[in-house]
Amino acid sequence: MSIINLKPITPGRRFKSVVDYRCLSKNKKPERSLLFPLKKTGGRNSAGRLTMKYIGGGAKKMYRAIDFKRREFPGVQGTVKSIEYDPNRNAFISAVYYDNGAKRYILTPDNLEVGSRIVSGSGVAPEIGHTLPLKEIPTGTFVHNIELNKGAGGVLVRSAGTSAQITAKEGKYVFVKLPSGKERMVLETCMATVGCVSNKDAMNCKKGKAGDNMHLGIRPRTRCVAMNPVDHPMGGGEGKASGGHPRSRKGLLSKGKKTRKSKRYSNKFLLNR
């Protein structure tokens, strides 16, 4: 997979770069049974009041239901029918047709190809795309879509190009090194998928123009130092003599302040930060 720099035929395309999508399946429409409508909020709550700024607009899109649990058909093999683009995430997704007739979308691991056979459950070989309990995955293996609670589905390491590494096993816990460098203990009965998440070049793409953010539903952001004191703690002042230490709209420091609670329940599962 590679990055394509577009020809500068317009100012918006001069600095724009995109992922090479030729690796995706051609002329493949999404599986209708796995599509659900997405309702836009515009950043407003049930009372119609704006509670989250800089949200609005965006292209219409349908949600693809992703199977993060991979527990529904243990031991049943499936075939990767297509690798598709998902407008709701930066990773690619794969349409898997199981031998029992079921159809599911999964996150596409790197190097997974159309026609590959995948399976999940206990006693499965730790190969690319297979999902199995952490206690059965060899130390040093790279995994993604990791569960934190047994049966709840994967919540860790789901973004494009990310992977976690199993570093050690002790008792009923497996030590996992996350992409952030943080090392965490996870129950050995939790499931994880072998391999790295696809589309690792997503982070290297440049949007090139403000309109690309508008298509994603992100409205223009106003600099807080350009606001008035009534609108933001960093607003006001004469000329450019405003600002101070960076902080949020509610006055909380945004750089350097520790935001993790000292008595958080999961602190005991963290080995380092």
Please tell me the distance from the alpha carbon of residue 150 to that of residue 175, in angstroms, as a whole number.
Answer: 16
Please tell me the distance from the alpha carbon of residue 134 to that of residue 77, in angstroms, as a whole number.
Answer: 20
DSSP structural state of residue 134: G
Report pLDDT digits (tens) over 226-262. 999 999 999 998 888 888 889 998 899 988 888 888 8
Q: Tokens standing for 269?
A: 């599962």
Residue 144: predicted pLDDT: 97
Report pLDDT digits (tens) over 91-115. 999 999 999 999 999 999 999 999 9
The answer to the question of residue 251 being in a domain is: no
The answer to the question of residue 86 being in a domain is: yes
Place of tokens 């989250």: 52
Residue 257: predicted pLDDT: 86
By C-alpha distance, which of 80, 99, 90, 89 is closest to 31?
80
The answer to the question of residue 55 being in a domain is: yes
The answer to the question of residue 236 being in a domain is: no
Span 211-232, mean pLDDT? 93
Report pLDDT digits (tens) over 111-150. 999 999 999 999 999 999 999 999 999 999 999 999 999 9
Residue 256: predicted pLDDT: 86
Give the containing element (helix H, strand E) for 212: helix 210-215
Number of domains comprising the chain: 1
Residue 62: predicted pLDDT: 95
Please tell me the distance from the alpha carbon of residue 174 to that of residue 237, in angstroms, as a whole number.
Answer: 53
- pLDDT higher than 90, residue 89: yes
CATH of the domain at 162: 2.40.50.140
The answer to the question of residue 38 being in a domain is: yes
Report pLDDT digits (tens) over 24-35. 999 889 999 999
Instruction: Kindly state the percentage of the chain with pLDDT values over 70.
Output: 99
- pLDDT higher than 70, residue 158: yes
Residue 77: predicted pLDDT: 94
Q: Residue 50 belongs to what domain range?
A: 3-203
The answer to the question of residue 241 being in a domain is: no
- pLDDT higher than 90, residue 67: yes
Mean pLDDT of the chain: 93
Residue 183: predicted pLDDT: 95
The answer to the question of residue 17 being in a domain is: yes
The answer to the question of residue 185 being in a domain is: yes
DSSP structural state of residue 177: E
Residue 187: predicted pLDDT: 96
Residue 1: predicted pLDDT: 65
Residue 185: predicted pLDDT: 96
